[in-house]
Amino acid sequence: MNLTDRFIDNVYAFSQLDYSDELLIHAKKCLIDYLAATMAGAKEYLSVEEALLQSPLSSGNASTIIRLNTKTSPAIAALVNGISAHAVELDDGQRFGNIHPGAPVISAILAVGEAYGLKVSDILRGLLSGYESTLRLACSIQPGHKLKGFHATGPCGTIGATMGIASLLRFGKEQFKASLSAACTSASGILEMIEGDTQMMPFNAGKAASNAVVSAMIGYAGFKTPEDALGGRRGFLHCFAQDVKEELLTDFTDSYCITNYFKPYAACGHCHASIDAALILRSQNQIPLESIKKIEIQTYKLAINGHDHTVINGVNSARMSIPYSAVVALVKGSAGVDDFGEETIKDRSILDLVSKVAVSENDSLTRQAPAKRMAIMTIFTDNGVFSETVDYPKGQPENPMSLDDIIAKYYMCGYSAGVSESSLNRVKEVILGDGNFPVSELMNCLL
């Protein structure tokens, strides 16, 4: 059997499992966390998403767009919700794969599940299969995939979300293979989209979700496929990777869908260790900001490129900046959505401190990555030197956010986005219940 067939065999078998309570609870955490990030992102991207929906291509009424008070086709709903989910850097991630699985996977399966009239229990099955596929694929090709310039959330998210839909709709193996083949040739997403004051980075996630819906349509129709779209000499892995850990694709002994992290801060995951260090230093010391002469942040190599800038030219630039993220946490004691807003990123007292930050590679931290995403923050002042090292920032599996933490984040984002408490309560009840509620009941509360 070729690599594609072996991968599909594993995904198919995983989709047929009787999932443990641990996996189902984790899936519910992922779904609640996704909705938190998506509500916050929909608020921030409201104007461009409303303009997008004015296109004559945005037709249909089967699937809900969260917080835009409208329904559209599954592919467009997946696109817009995927953009919202990744818009404010609050969505989940996985450090070994350098990927955000929830934005593409959950956006796609919610849109399709609602259109098909499925139940929440079906969504959880599709979510777990989609996560397992996405994370295994991303982990098998990193770090070379990122070093080639790809944003794994796009390419790997396309394929993983497609496998999630195939599991959701209980495709046969030939339909799985056709869907995978379509996803392989649809997959794309480049890291140049994070540069500067851009709104294009979350498009990688939205496009992946939308492409997954279309790829699953191809699979459903039963298009004839190449033998090995994944592992062939001109297949996905050859085009998108340098070195491939094939065993992650052919042996599903250990579950990967529970290895993701959740975000307490509205910044790129590479910034989180520095944010935690800043918050610890702030809480344990009284450091007069005017006494700070310079700040040094040492971290691992893969975190630096695209994240060490001290010139902040927009909201998204701030979210990608280790210097800004650390300083705003040090100054304000928080790193939420508002701390990366238009008003805060123009605060001269914050920007003056950002200009004093130098980010550099620490060889020891590089050797420990990605098992640890570490940072050492050292503040030099007129009154002394203060330093803190963070191994596992808050939200990583080794320092997890609890279900209560994620629910608190969900309510915070929901209130900020203007969702009523009664609607938020009902969505939570539907997700945490026995799974027999229709997806539409959940989605109708979030229009």
Per-residue model confidence as pLDDT tens digits over 376-400: 999 999 989 999 999 999 999 999 9
210 contacts 82 by C-beta, under 8 angstroms:
yes
Tens of pLDDT, residues 7-17: 999 999 999 99
pLDDT at 171 over 90: yes
Residue ranges of the alpha helices (H) in 299-355? 301-304, 315-319, 322-332, 348-354
How many Å is the Cα radius of gyration of the chain?
21
Give the pLDDT band (50/70/90) at residue 58. confident
Task: Please tell me the predicted confidence (pLDDT) of residue 77.
Answer: 97
Residue 57 predicted with pLDDT over 90: no
Q: What is the mean pLDDT of the chain?
A: 96
User: How far out from the chain centre does Cα 79 lie?
Assistant: 14
Question: Can you tell me the mean pLDDT for 48-56?
Answer: 88
Question: What is the DSSP secondary structure assignment for residue 401, as one 8-state letter?
Answer: P
The pLDDT of 100-121, averaged and rounded, is 98
Residues with Cβ within 8 Å of 191's Cβ and at least 6 positions away in sequence, in order, are 146, 149, 150, 151, 306
Reported residue count of the chain is 447
Q: How much is the pLDDT for 189? A: 97
Residue 280 clears pLDDT 80, i.e. is over it: yes
Question: For residue 179, what is the enclosing H or E element?
Answer: helix 173-186
Alpha carbon distance 87, 446 (integer Å): 17
What confidence tens digit (pLDDT) does each residue in 188-246 have? 999 999 988 889 999 999 999 999 999 999 999 999 999 999 999 999 999 999 899 99
